[in-house]
Structure 1
Amino acid sequence: MSGRWIFLAVALSAIAADQAVKAWVRAALVERESIGSPWPGVFEITLTYNDGIAFGMLRGAGVLLAPIALAIVLVAAIYSFRHSYQGRAIHFAMGALAGGAVGNLIDRLWLGKVTDMFWFRWIDFPVFNVADACITVSAVMMMLVWTFEPKVAPAPQESEPAAELPNAETPQADSRNEA
C-alpha cells in the first residue's frame, strides 16, 4: 500500500472511530456522568466537554482554533503526499495527526466544544478522546521515525534525465593535441 493510501486510510479510520465513540458517549451519558469503570479507581469513561485545547488551556477559544486545525491537516497531507517514498510509519503518523485534528475540528464546529471521555483517574490525567490519542501517538511516532529511521532520498523522476558523466575507462580526446 502506498504512503498516500496509508495516510488516507488512517486519517479516515481515526475520524470514524473518534466520531463513533463520541456519539456513543453523548447518547449514553450526561455531562460528568461515568459509565461503570473498566478499572475502578484507575480508568473511567466520563463525559466532559472542553472548549479550549489540551489540558484545558485557552478556554473559550475552541472555534477560533479551527484555522490551526485546518493548517495541521493541510501540512500533514502535503508532507505525506510529497514524501511518498518514505516508510509506512511516517504516513501512518501523518494520517493519525490529520484524523485527530479533523475529529476534534468536527466537534468544535458542530458543538462549539470537544467531547472528551477517557479519564485515568488514578493519576488524575486530563480527560481525553480518540482524536487526542491519535494526535499524541502521531507525535511520538514522528519523533521516533525522524530520530531512528534511516534518511531516504526520493527516487529521481523519470522525466529528469540523469547527468551523463564521462566513463573513467573511456579515453577522452584531448582537444589541445588535435589542432
Structure 2
Amino acid sequence: MVDRTYRWLLVTLAVVGLGADLGSKYGVFRWLYKDGNFAHGVGNEYDVVPGWFKLIAQFDREVAVADDGFGDLRTWSTNGDPVMPRVNHGALFGLGQSRKGLANGFFAVVSVAAALAILVWGTRPHTARERGLMAALGLILGGTVGNLYDRLVFGGVRDFLYFYKIEWPVFNVADCCLVVGAALLLVQAVLVSPPAETPPATGETVTPVPVPESPKV
C-alpha cells in the first residue's frame, strides 16, 4: 500500500502565498502611487479601517535607479522622472534596518538557505506524510521567496500593511505567511504526534501450517 503524502500541499501553499504577496505588493504600490492618476486613496495611503488600519505606500525620489534590467519591474515615473518604493532593508519588524545594504545581503543569504532547507525537508518521506507540517513549510516557503524576490530586485522588502492604532511595524503578506507558518510549525511540534513508521514490506508470503484433524472415534 502506497503511503499518502502531502507534498502537493506544500507546493500549493507556497505558490499561492508567493502569488498573493507579489500581487498585493505590486497592486497596492501601483494604486497608491502619489503622482499617479488613480481613483482611490489620498496621497500615498488609504484607510481601510479608519482609526485602526490602513494601506501605506511610500516612495523615495532620492534613491538612484540603476540601469540593471530591473527598471520596469520596480519603478514608476512621471514625466520621465523614475521613483522607487521605499523599502525595509532589514528583517521582520525592521530588524537590522539601520545597516541597509549589509543587512539586506545578509537576510537574502539567510532566505536562500531557508528555502533550500525547506525543500530538502519537504522531500523526506516521513515529513511528507504529516499534513500540518507540510502546510507550515509551504507557508514559510512562500513568504521566504516573496521577500527574497524583493531583496534581489528592490534592494529591500516592500511593506504596506499598517495597524497605526497600536503603532505596529509595517508589514506585508509574505510576513503574514511566515508568522502563520511558524505558528503552525510550533503547534505541530508541541501538540501533534508524528505518524507511526510503517514497517517495510519484505515481499515474502507466509504459508499457513495445516492443523491435523483429530482422529475419529
Whether 1:46 aligns to 2:49 is no
Whether 1:33 aligns to 2:40 is no
Of 101-110 and 53-62, the range deviating more from structure 2 = 53-62
For 1:76, the aligned partner's letter is I
In the alignment of these two chains, the number of paired residues is 158
The TM-score normalised by the length of structure 1 is: 0.82
Of 52-61 and 99-108, the range deviating more from structure 2 = 52-61
For 1:12, the aligned partner's letter is V
Measure, in 2, the Cα distance between the counterparts of 1:152 and 1:3: 13
Measure, in 2, the Cα distance between the counterparts of 1:50 and 1:85: 37
Matched with 2:119 is: 77
SS at match of 1:62: helix
Compute the displacement of 1:151 (Å): 2.4
Whether 1:22 aligns to 2:33 is no
Question: What runs of 5+ residues in structure 1 fail to find an aligned partner?
Answer: 163-179
Measure, in 1, the Cα distance between the counterparts of 2:172 and 2:51: 19
Whether 1:155 aligns to 2:165 is no
Compute the displacement of 1:15 (Å): 0.5
Compute the displacement of 1:157 (Å): 4.0
Measure, in 1, the Cα distance between the counterparts of 2:161 and 2:141: 20
Matched with 1:92 is: 135
Q: Deviations over 1:60-118 (max 9, x none)?
A: 111332121011111222222211122x1111110000110000000000000111111
Give the 3 Å change call, closer, same or farther, for CA 108–157 of structure 1 in structure 2. Answer: farther
Whether 1:117 aligns to 2:160 is yes
SS at match of 2:190: helix
Measure, in 2, the Cα distance between the counterparts of 1:144 and 1:107: 29
SS at match of 2:160: strand
Compute the displacement of 1:30 (Å): 3.7
Of 65-74 and 4-13, the range deviating more from structure 2 = 65-74
Question: What runs of 5+ residues in structure 2 fail to find an aligned partner?
Answer: 35-42, 59-86, 204-217
Measure, in 1, the Cα distance between the counterparts of 2:199 and 2:183: 30
Percent of pairs identical after alignment?
31
Give the 3 Å change call, closer, same or farther, for CA 40–102 of structure 1 in structure 2. Answer: same
Matched with 2:14 is: 11
Q: Deviations over 1:122-156 (max 9, x none)?
A: 11110100000000000111111111112223323
Measure, in 1, the Cα distance between the counterparts of 2:110 and 2:168: 25
Measure, in 2, the Cα distance between the counterparts of 1:2 and 1:99: 19
Measure, in 2, the Cα distance between the counterparts of 1:131 and 1:91: 17
